[in-house]
Structure 1
Amino acid sequence: MKYAIKIHKISTVDELENSWNIDDYKELLERFELPGTETTEVKELRELLFMAISDKEPPEAAAIVLDYKLSEHLNKGQIDSLSYEMLVDKISEEYPKIELHQQLFNINQLLYKAYNGKFPNTKATIVDFEITPKANADEKITKEIVLKCFAKNLDSHNVVIRLFGHQLNADEAFEEANDVIWELQKKDVGYRFITSEYFMSKEEFLSPEFEAKIDFFEEE
Protein backbone atom coordinates (compact mmCIF):
# COMPACT_ATOMS: atom_id res chain seq x y z
CA MET A 1 0.00 0.00 0.00
CA LYS A 2 1.14 3.52 -0.78
CA TYR A 3 0.57 6.78 1.10
CA ALA A 4 1.49 10.41 0.59
CA ILE A 5 2.46 12.31 3.74
CA LYS A 6 2.85 16.01 4.37
CA ILE A 7 4.27 17.11 7.72
CA HIS A 8 2.92 20.40 9.03
CA LYS A 9 4.72 20.66 12.36
CA ILE A 10 7.11 18.71 14.59
CA SER A 11 7.28 19.73 18.25
CA THR A 12 9.47 18.57 21.11
CA VAL A 13 7.84 18.85 24.54
CA ASP A 14 8.73 17.91 28.12
CA GLU A 15 5.12 17.49 29.22
CA LEU A 16 1.86 16.32 27.63
CA GLU A 17 -1.26 18.40 27.97
CA ASN A 18 -3.96 16.92 30.18
CA SER A 19 -1.69 14.12 31.41
CA TRP A 20 -2.81 14.98 34.96
CA ASN A 21 -6.28 16.19 35.95
CA ILE A 22 -7.92 17.58 39.10
CA ASP A 23 -8.83 14.11 40.38
CA ASP A 24 -5.23 12.94 39.93
CA TYR A 25 -3.87 15.89 41.89
CA LYS A 26 -6.40 15.47 44.70
CA GLU A 27 -5.75 11.74 45.02
CA LEU A 28 -1.99 12.29 45.03
CA LEU A 29 -2.31 15.00 47.67
CA GLU A 30 -4.14 12.43 49.84
CA ARG A 31 -1.32 9.97 49.31
CA PHE A 32 1.28 12.63 50.12
CA GLU A 33 -0.59 13.33 53.37
CA LEU A 34 -1.97 16.72 52.37
CA PRO A 35 -5.71 15.93 52.18
CA GLY A 36 -8.80 18.12 52.34
CA THR A 37 -7.70 20.69 49.78
CA GLU A 38 -10.69 22.86 48.91
CA THR A 39 -9.40 24.50 45.75
CA THR A 40 -10.40 23.16 42.33
CA GLU A 41 -7.86 25.26 40.46
CA VAL A 42 -5.49 22.95 38.59
CA LYS A 43 -2.55 25.35 38.94
CA GLU A 44 -2.99 25.64 42.72
CA LEU A 45 -3.40 21.89 43.16
CA ARG A 46 -0.27 21.29 41.12
CA GLU A 47 1.73 23.77 43.20
CA LEU A 48 0.51 22.17 46.44
CA LEU A 49 1.41 18.73 45.11
CA PHE A 50 4.90 19.90 44.12
CA MET A 51 5.41 21.19 47.67
CA ALA A 52 4.18 17.89 49.13
CA ILE A 53 6.39 15.88 46.78
CA SER A 54 9.50 17.93 47.53
CA ASP A 55 9.04 17.30 51.28
CA LYS A 56 9.74 13.61 50.65
CA GLU A 57 12.95 11.91 49.62
CA PRO A 58 12.92 11.44 45.81
CA PRO A 59 12.70 7.61 45.82
CA GLU A 60 9.84 7.70 48.33
CA ALA A 61 7.95 10.27 46.24
CA ALA A 62 8.57 8.28 43.07
CA ALA A 63 7.21 5.12 44.69
CA ILE A 64 4.01 6.91 45.73
CA VAL A 65 3.34 8.24 42.22
CA LEU A 66 4.31 4.94 40.58
CA ASP A 67 1.97 3.05 42.91
CA TYR A 68 -0.90 5.43 42.08
CA LYS A 69 -0.47 5.16 38.31
CA LEU A 70 0.94 1.69 37.73
CA SER A 71 0.00 -0.60 40.62
CA GLU A 72 -2.15 -2.64 38.21
CA HIS A 73 0.93 -3.38 36.11
CA LEU A 74 3.78 -3.49 38.63
CA ASN A 75 4.22 -5.26 41.95
CA LYS A 76 5.70 -3.62 45.07
CA GLY A 77 9.19 -4.91 44.37
CA GLN A 78 9.17 -3.55 40.82
CA ILE A 79 7.87 -0.19 42.04
CA ASP A 80 10.57 0.02 44.72
CA SER A 81 13.29 -0.77 42.17
CA LEU A 82 11.97 1.73 39.65
CA SER A 83 11.72 4.47 42.28
CA TYR A 84 15.52 4.37 42.63
CA GLU A 85 16.35 3.65 38.99
CA MET A 86 14.32 6.67 37.84
CA LEU A 87 16.78 8.99 39.57
CA VAL A 88 19.67 7.92 37.35
CA ASP A 89 18.16 6.41 34.20
CA LYS A 90 15.57 7.47 31.65
CA ILE A 91 13.22 4.66 32.61
CA SER A 92 10.44 5.93 30.32
CA GLU A 93 12.76 5.16 27.41
CA GLU A 94 14.53 2.07 28.70
CA TYR A 95 11.84 0.01 30.46
CA PRO A 96 11.29 -3.26 28.57
CA LYS A 97 7.48 -3.00 28.66
CA ILE A 98 6.89 -0.40 25.94
CA GLU A 99 3.19 -0.20 26.83
CA LEU A 100 4.17 1.57 30.07
CA HIS A 101 6.42 4.18 28.47
CA GLN A 102 3.82 6.95 28.20
CA GLN A 103 2.75 6.66 31.83
CA LEU A 104 6.38 6.44 32.95
CA PHE A 105 7.09 9.59 30.94
CA ASN A 106 4.24 11.45 32.65
CA ILE A 107 5.41 10.27 36.08
CA ASN A 108 9.04 11.11 35.36
CA GLN A 109 8.23 14.62 34.20
CA LEU A 110 5.97 15.34 37.17
CA LEU A 111 8.84 14.38 39.49
CA TYR A 112 11.42 16.20 37.36
CA LYS A 113 9.48 19.46 37.70
CA ALA A 114 8.58 18.98 41.36
CA TYR A 115 12.26 18.53 42.23
CA ASN A 116 13.61 21.14 39.79
CA GLY A 117 15.68 18.64 37.88
CA LYS A 118 16.75 15.86 40.28
CA PHE A 119 15.23 13.32 37.89
CA PRO A 120 16.42 12.98 34.27
CA ASN A 121 14.57 15.20 31.80
CA THR A 122 12.81 13.25 29.06
CA LYS A 123 11.03 14.55 25.96
CA ALA A 124 8.15 13.61 23.71
CA THR A 125 7.72 14.29 19.99
CA ILE A 126 4.43 15.58 18.56
CA VAL A 127 3.87 15.50 14.79
CA ASP A 128 0.99 17.18 12.94
CA PHE A 129 0.59 15.78 9.45
CA GLU A 130 -1.68 14.88 6.57
CA ILE A 131 -1.74 11.38 5.11
CA THR A 132 -3.40 10.51 1.80
CA PRO A 133 -3.99 6.90 0.73
CA LYS A 134 -2.96 6.22 -2.89
CA ALA A 135 -4.68 3.78 -5.25
CA ASN A 136 -6.21 0.96 -3.18
CA ALA A 137 -4.50 1.77 0.11
CA ASP A 138 -6.50 1.36 3.30
CA GLU A 139 -8.50 4.51 4.11
CA LYS A 140 -8.57 3.75 7.85
CA ILE A 141 -5.37 5.21 9.27
CA THR A 142 -3.90 3.16 12.12
CA LYS A 143 -0.83 3.53 14.32
CA GLU A 144 0.86 0.74 12.36
CA ILE A 145 0.28 2.51 9.05
CA VAL A 146 1.57 5.79 10.44
CA LEU A 147 4.66 4.25 12.02
CA LYS A 148 5.56 2.23 8.92
CA CYS A 149 5.15 5.28 6.70
CA PHE A 150 7.18 7.58 8.92
CA ALA A 151 9.94 5.00 9.28
CA LYS A 152 10.58 5.52 5.56
CA ASN A 153 11.34 9.18 6.31
CA LEU A 154 13.71 8.73 9.25
CA ASP A 155 17.49 8.71 9.49
CA SER A 156 18.82 5.15 9.14
CA HIS A 157 20.24 5.25 12.69
CA ASN A 158 16.76 5.77 14.16
CA VAL A 159 15.86 3.46 17.06
CA VAL A 160 12.56 2.28 15.51
CA ILE A 161 14.38 1.19 12.35
CA ARG A 162 17.05 -0.60 14.35
CA LEU A 163 14.71 -2.31 16.84
CA PHE A 164 11.80 -3.22 14.60
CA GLY A 165 13.31 -3.99 11.20
CA HIS A 166 11.45 -7.29 10.79
CA GLN A 167 8.12 -5.72 11.72
CA LEU A 168 8.66 -2.74 9.41
CA ASN A 169 9.46 -5.12 6.55
CA ALA A 170 6.28 -7.13 7.30
CA ASP A 171 8.25 -10.26 8.20
CA GLU A 172 6.50 -10.20 11.59
CA ALA A 173 3.30 -8.72 13.02
CA PHE A 174 3.85 -5.21 14.33
CA GLU A 175 1.89 -5.20 17.60
CA GLU A 176 4.45 -2.88 19.19
CA ALA A 177 3.32 -0.04 16.90
CA ASN A 178 0.38 0.59 19.24
CA ASP A 179 2.80 1.34 22.08
CA VAL A 180 5.59 3.07 20.15
CA ILE A 181 3.03 5.64 19.05
CA TRP A 182 1.41 6.79 22.29
CA GLU A 183 -1.52 8.62 20.73
CA LEU A 184 -2.94 9.06 17.24
CA GLN A 185 -5.51 11.84 17.00
CA LYS A 186 -7.75 12.88 14.11
CA LYS A 187 -7.64 16.66 13.74
CA ASP A 188 -9.75 19.14 11.74
CA VAL A 189 -7.05 18.92 9.09
CA GLY A 190 -5.06 15.71 9.09
CA TYR A 191 -3.73 13.89 12.13
CA ARG A 192 -1.43 14.21 15.12
CA PHE A 193 0.71 11.53 16.69
CA ILE A 194 2.66 11.57 19.95
CA THR A 195 5.66 9.38 20.71
CA SER A 196 8.82 9.43 22.79
CA GLU A 197 11.74 11.49 21.55
CA TYR A 198 13.69 8.29 22.10
CA PHE A 199 11.79 6.68 19.24
CA MET A 200 11.68 9.74 16.98
CA SER A 201 13.58 12.98 17.51
CA LYS A 202 12.94 16.12 15.51
CA GLU A 203 16.40 15.92 13.93
CA GLU A 204 15.78 12.45 12.49
CA PHE A 205 13.01 13.43 10.05
CA LEU A 206 14.37 13.70 6.52
CA SER A 207 11.71 15.51 4.48
CA PRO A 208 8.50 17.50 5.10
CA GLU A 209 6.74 15.70 2.23
CA PHE A 210 7.21 12.11 1.08
CA GLU A 211 5.53 9.01 -0.23
CA ALA A 212 5.80 5.62 1.44
CA LYS A 213 5.05 2.14 0.20
CA ILE A 214 4.38 -0.28 3.05
CA ASP A 215 3.40 -3.92 3.47
CA PHE A 216 1.60 -5.88 6.15
CA PHE A 217 2.46 -9.21 7.73
CA GLU A 218 0.33 -12.12 6.58
CA GLU A 219 0.33 -15.42 8.41
CA GLU A 220 0.88 -18.43 6.18
Structure 2
Amino acid sequence: MKYTIKITSAQTISEIPNYWTNPDYMQLLEKFNYPDADKAEKETLEELLLMAITDYEPNEAAAIVLEYKLADKLNDGQIQQISNDMLLDKISEEYPDISLHATLFPVNQLLFKAFNGKFPNTKATLIQFSIEPENAENILEFTKEDVLHLFQNGLSERTLIKRLFGEQIAGSNNFPEAASILWELQPVGNNHYTFITSDYWLSKDDLVADEFSAELVKEPKAEEIQ
Protein backbone atom coordinates (compact mmCIF):
# COMPACT_ATOMS: atom_id res chain seq x y z
CA MET A 1 0.00 0.00 0.00
CA LYS A 2 1.16 3.54 -0.72
CA TYR A 3 1.51 6.13 2.02
CA THR A 4 2.37 9.81 2.23
CA ILE A 5 4.67 10.81 5.06
CA LYS A 6 4.76 14.43 6.19
CA ILE A 7 7.42 15.71 8.59
CA THR A 8 5.91 18.32 10.90
CA SER A 9 8.93 18.82 13.16
CA ALA A 10 12.53 17.64 13.44
CA GLN A 11 14.54 18.57 16.50
CA THR A 12 17.95 17.81 17.94
CA ILE A 13 17.55 17.12 21.66
CA SER A 14 20.01 16.58 24.51
CA GLU A 15 17.75 14.43 26.69
CA ILE A 16 14.73 12.19 26.39
CA PRO A 17 11.71 14.02 27.82
CA ASN A 18 10.45 12.52 31.10
CA TYR A 19 12.95 9.66 30.99
CA TRP A 20 14.05 10.11 34.60
CA THR A 21 11.23 9.96 37.11
CA ASN A 22 11.04 11.06 40.73
CA PRO A 23 11.30 7.42 41.91
CA ASP A 24 14.50 7.15 39.81
CA TYR A 25 15.92 10.25 41.46
CA MET A 26 15.06 8.98 44.94
CA GLN A 27 16.58 5.55 44.37
CA LEU A 28 19.71 7.04 42.86
CA LEU A 29 20.04 9.52 45.72
CA GLU A 30 20.00 6.55 48.07
CA LYS A 31 22.72 4.83 46.02
CA PHE A 32 24.79 8.03 46.20
CA ASN A 33 24.34 8.05 50.00
CA TYR A 34 22.24 11.21 50.11
CA PRO A 35 20.31 11.22 53.42
CA ASP A 36 16.54 11.70 53.70
CA ALA A 37 15.82 11.90 49.98
CA ASP A 38 12.25 10.88 50.73
CA LYS A 39 11.77 14.14 52.67
CA ALA A 40 13.01 16.41 49.87
CA GLU A 41 10.69 18.51 47.74
CA LYS A 42 9.91 16.64 44.55
CA GLU A 43 10.91 19.55 42.32
CA THR A 44 14.40 19.59 43.87
CA LEU A 45 15.21 15.90 43.41
CA GLU A 46 17.05 16.24 40.11
CA GLU A 47 19.18 19.11 41.39
CA LEU A 48 19.98 17.20 44.58
CA LEU A 49 21.00 14.15 42.57
CA LEU A 50 23.28 16.18 40.31
CA MET A 51 25.02 17.55 43.40
CA ALA A 52 25.24 14.14 45.05
CA ILE A 53 26.79 12.61 41.93
CA THR A 54 29.65 15.11 41.97
CA ASP A 55 30.76 13.90 45.42
CA TYR A 56 32.15 10.89 43.54
CA GLU A 57 34.85 10.53 40.94
CA PRO A 58 33.32 10.60 37.43
CA ASN A 59 34.04 6.92 36.68
CA GLU A 60 32.69 5.87 40.11
CA ALA A 61 29.52 7.86 39.55
CA ALA A 62 29.13 6.35 36.08
CA ALA A 63 29.42 2.84 37.52
CA ILE A 64 26.67 3.55 40.07
CA VAL A 65 24.23 4.88 37.46
CA LEU A 66 25.08 2.07 35.03
CA GLU A 67 24.53 -0.54 37.72
CA TYR A 68 21.16 1.04 38.55
CA LYS A 69 19.97 0.96 34.95
CA LEU A 70 21.76 -2.02 33.39
CA ALA A 71 22.67 -4.52 36.09
CA ASP A 72 20.34 -7.04 34.45
CA LYS A 73 22.18 -6.77 31.12
CA LEU A 74 25.82 -6.10 32.03
CA ASN A 75 28.17 -7.87 34.44
CA ASP A 76 30.39 -6.06 36.91
CA GLY A 77 33.40 -6.15 34.60
CA GLN A 78 31.44 -4.66 31.71
CA ILE A 79 30.04 -1.91 33.94
CA GLN A 80 33.53 -0.99 35.16
CA GLN A 81 34.87 -0.95 31.62
CA ILE A 82 32.05 1.21 30.29
CA SER A 83 32.27 3.59 33.27
CA ASN A 84 35.86 4.35 32.30
CA ASP A 85 35.30 4.38 28.54
CA MET A 86 32.40 6.85 28.87
CA LEU A 87 34.82 9.60 29.86
CA LEU A 88 36.65 9.30 26.56
CA ASP A 89 34.18 8.01 23.97
CA LYS A 90 30.54 8.37 23.01
CA ILE A 91 29.63 4.94 24.31
CA SER A 92 25.91 5.49 23.72
CA GLU A 93 26.77 5.62 20.00
CA GLU A 94 29.71 3.21 19.85
CA TYR A 95 28.81 0.31 22.16
CA PRO A 96 28.60 -2.86 20.02
CA ASP A 97 25.25 -3.97 21.46
CA ILE A 98 22.95 -1.35 19.96
CA SER A 99 20.01 -2.55 22.06
CA LEU A 100 21.68 -0.74 24.99
CA HIS A 101 22.06 2.62 23.25
CA ALA A 102 18.62 3.84 24.32
CA THR A 103 19.62 3.43 27.97
CA LEU A 104 23.25 4.48 27.65
CA PHE A 105 22.17 7.82 26.14
CA PRO A 106 20.22 9.15 29.16
CA VAL A 107 22.84 7.73 31.52
CA ASN A 108 25.54 9.62 29.62
CA GLN A 109 23.54 12.84 29.53
CA LEU A 110 22.80 12.72 33.26
CA LEU A 111 26.52 12.39 33.94
CA PHE A 112 27.35 15.07 31.36
CA LYS A 113 25.02 17.48 33.13
CA ALA A 114 26.30 16.61 36.61
CA PHE A 115 29.98 16.95 35.74
CA ASN A 116 29.59 20.00 33.51
CA GLY A 117 30.99 18.46 30.36
CA LYS A 118 33.58 15.96 31.64
CA PHE A 119 31.64 13.30 29.74
CA PRO A 120 31.23 13.65 25.94
CA ASN A 121 27.98 15.31 24.95
CA THR A 122 25.67 13.22 22.78
CA LYS A 123 22.49 14.14 20.96
CA ALA A 124 19.22 12.54 19.95
CA THR A 125 16.67 13.35 17.26
CA LEU A 126 12.95 13.84 17.84
CA ILE A 127 10.78 13.58 14.72
CA GLN A 128 7.08 14.42 14.57
CA PHE A 129 5.29 13.20 11.46
CA SER A 130 2.07 11.91 9.94
CA ILE A 131 1.39 8.82 7.84
CA GLU A 132 -1.54 9.09 5.45
CA PRO A 133 -2.65 5.94 3.60
CA GLU A 134 -3.70 6.15 -0.05
CA ASN A 135 -6.90 4.40 0.95
CA ALA A 136 -8.28 6.15 4.03
CA GLU A 137 -10.20 3.02 5.03
CA ASN A 138 -6.99 1.10 5.61
CA ILE A 139 -5.79 2.62 8.88
CA LEU A 140 -3.07 0.49 10.42
CA GLU A 141 -0.81 0.63 13.41
CA PHE A 142 2.88 0.64 12.64
CA THR A 143 5.91 -1.03 14.15
CA LYS A 144 9.33 0.56 14.34
CA GLU A 145 10.39 -1.54 11.38
CA ASP A 146 7.41 -0.29 9.37
CA VAL A 147 8.30 3.33 10.10
CA LEU A 148 11.91 2.93 9.01
CA HIS A 149 10.74 1.29 5.79
CA LEU A 150 8.39 4.21 5.18
CA PHE A 151 11.15 6.75 5.84
CA GLN A 152 13.63 5.33 3.33
CA ASN A 153 12.60 7.74 0.56
CA GLY A 154 12.93 10.74 2.85
CA LEU A 155 16.47 10.04 4.03
CA SER A 156 19.78 11.04 2.53
CA GLU A 157 21.91 8.24 1.13
CA ARG A 158 24.63 9.23 3.60
CA THR A 159 22.40 8.43 6.58
CA LEU A 160 24.10 5.80 8.71
CA ILE A 161 20.97 3.64 8.77
CA LYS A 162 21.02 3.42 4.98
CA ARG A 163 24.74 2.78 4.83
CA LEU A 164 24.67 -0.04 7.38
CA PHE A 165 21.19 -1.44 6.83
CA GLY A 166 20.41 -0.56 3.22
CA GLU A 167 18.78 -3.87 2.33
CA GLN A 168 16.83 -4.03 5.57
CA ILE A 169 15.39 -0.53 5.33
CA ALA A 170 14.46 -1.24 1.71
CA GLY A 171 12.52 -4.28 2.88
CA SER A 172 14.75 -6.89 1.26
CA ASN A 173 15.73 -8.50 4.57
CA ASN A 174 14.28 -8.75 8.06
CA PHE A 175 15.10 -5.72 10.16
CA PRO A 176 15.20 -6.69 13.88
CA GLU A 177 17.69 -3.88 14.54
CA ALA A 178 14.85 -1.38 13.97
CA ALA A 179 13.65 -1.94 17.54
CA SER A 180 17.02 -0.69 18.83
CA ILE A 181 17.49 2.12 16.30
CA LEU A 182 14.16 3.79 17.07
CA TRP A 183 14.23 4.24 20.84
CA GLU A 184 10.62 5.38 21.14
CA LEU A 185 7.69 5.35 18.75
CA GLN A 186 4.45 6.93 19.92
CA PRO A 187 1.09 7.53 18.20
CA VAL A 188 -0.33 10.93 19.11
CA GLY A 189 -3.67 10.69 17.29
CA ASN A 190 -5.10 11.37 13.81
CA ASN A 191 -2.36 9.44 11.98
CA HIS A 192 0.35 11.50 13.71
CA TYR A 193 3.36 9.96 15.43
CA THR A 194 6.65 10.81 17.08
CA PHE A 195 9.87 8.87 17.30
CA ILE A 196 13.17 9.38 19.07
CA THR A 197 16.46 8.01 17.82
CA SER A 198 20.14 8.80 18.20
CA ASP A 199 21.54 11.70 16.22
CA TYR A 200 24.22 9.15 15.36
CA TRP A 201 21.68 7.05 13.45
CA LEU A 202 19.56 9.85 12.00
CA SER A 203 20.01 13.58 12.38
CA LYS A 204 17.49 16.19 11.28
CA ASP A 205 19.94 17.11 8.51
CA ASP A 206 19.54 13.60 7.08
CA LEU A 207 15.96 14.40 6.08
CA VAL A 208 15.88 15.39 2.41
CA ALA A 209 12.17 16.30 2.16
CA ASP A 210 9.29 17.40 4.36
CA GLU A 211 6.87 15.22 2.40
CA PHE A 212 7.44 12.00 0.50
CA SER A 213 5.69 8.80 -0.53
CA ALA A 214 6.53 5.19 0.20
CA GLU A 215 5.03 1.76 -0.24
CA LEU A 216 4.70 -0.76 2.54
CA VAL A 217 3.62 -4.37 2.17
CA LYS A 218 1.64 -4.99 5.31
CA GLU A 219 -1.32 -7.10 6.24
CA PRO A 220 -4.41 -5.11 7.24
CA LYS A 221 -4.29 -6.69 10.71
CA ALA A 222 -3.11 -4.09 13.25
CA GLU A 223 0.21 -4.70 14.93
CA GLU A 224 1.01 -3.30 18.30
CA ILE A 225 3.59 -0.49 18.35
CA GLN A 226 6.68 -1.60 20.23
Q: Normalising TM by the smaller chain, what interval?
A: over 0.9
Conserved in 1, the CA contact under 8 Å of 2:149 and 2:171?
A: no
Q: Does 1:81 align with 2:72?
A: no
Superposition pairs of residues 70-149 of structure 1, within 5 angstroms: 70-135=70-135, 139-149=140-150
Aligned equivalents of 1:22, 1:84: Cα separation in 2: 27
Conserved in 2, the CA contact under 8 Å of 1:26 and 1:35?
A: no
For residues 137-172 of structure 1, give each alpha carbon's deviation from its aligned partner in whole angstroms, at most 9, with x where no partner exists.
772222111111112211111100011112123332
Aligned equivalents of 2:59, 2:199: Cα separation in 1: 25
Match of 1:152, SS state, is: helix
How many positions carry a matched residue from both structures?
Answer: 215
Q: TM-score, normalised by structure 2?
A: 0.90
Give the structure 2 partner of residue 23 of structure 1: 23
CA RMSD of aligned residues (A): 1.6
Superposition deviation, residue 215 in structure 1:
5.1
Gaps of 5+ in 2: 219-226
Alignment-mate amino acid for residue 193 of structure 1: F
Aligned equivalents of 2:138, 2:168: Cα separation in 1: 19
Gaps of 5+ in 1: none
Superposition deviation, residue 55 in structure 1:
1.3
For residues 159-189 of structure 1, give each alpha carbon's deviation from its aligned partner in whole angstroms, at most 9, with x where no partner exists.
0001111212333211111111111111134
Give the structure 2 partner of residue 182 of structure 1: 183
Superposition deviation, residue 133 in structure 1:
2.2
Superposition pairs of residues 170-209 of structure 1, within 5 angstroms: 170-189=171-190, 190-209=192-211
Alignment-mate amino acid for residue 198 of structure 1: Y
Superposition deviation, residue 205 in structure 1:
0.4
Alignment-mate amino acid for residue 182 of structure 2: I
Structure 1, 188-197 or 113-122: larger mean CA deviation: 188-197
Alignment-mate amino acid for residue 213 of structure 1: E
Aligned equivalents of 1:107, 1:100: Cα separation in 2: 11
Aligned equivalents of 1:16, 1:34: Cα separation in 2: 25
Give the structure 2 partner of residue 169 of structure 1: 170
Alignment-mate amino acid for residue 177 of structure 1: A
Conserved in 1, the CA contact under 8 Å of 2:6 and 2:212?
A: yes
Give the structure 2 partner of residue 12 of structure 1: 12
Aligned equivalents of 1:108, 1:181: Cα separation in 2: 18
Aligned equivalents of 2:142, 2:49: Cα separation in 1: 39
Residue identity over aligned pairs, in percent, reads: 50
Match of 2:195, SS state, is: strand
For residues 9-67 of structure 1, give each alpha carbon's deviation from its aligned partner in whole angstroms, at most 9, with x where no partner exists.
0111101111111111111111111132212413x111111111111110000000000
